[in-house]
Amino acid sequence: MILEHADIRIAPGQQAAFEEALHRGLATVISRAKGFRRGALQAGVEQPERYLLLIEWDTLEDHTVGFRNSPLFAEWRAIVGPFFAAPPVVEHFRLAAPTGQA
């Protein structure tokens, strides 16, 4: 499993509209992508225009090749892209050490 971590900055005052658009994009677009497992959006507390989008993929290539090179990516960007104040910073992570339940 690969975790996509997207650090997103949006324009001030657009939080509610962005959160709705992102939820819609996850439900109607990204959920159809091969290898998609689940996604979550975290909202910044100290910086309310900052978000972390966390998406689990089966493989790195499911995101970087399959999704990014598909028509779904253009659909996704059409929904959420207008809110971006800057291009998102995207990185990928693998689980290094599982933890027990807290």
Mean pLDDT of 10-18: 97
**88 CB contacts (<8 Å, ≥6 apart)?**
6, 7, 8, 9, 53
Q: Is the model's pLDDT at 60 over the cut of 90?
A: yes
**40, exposed or middle or buried, with CB in 10 Å at 0-12, 13-18, 19+?**
exposed
Closest CA to 37 of 95, 100, 81, 82: 95
For a pLDDT cut of 70, what percent of the chain falls above it? 98
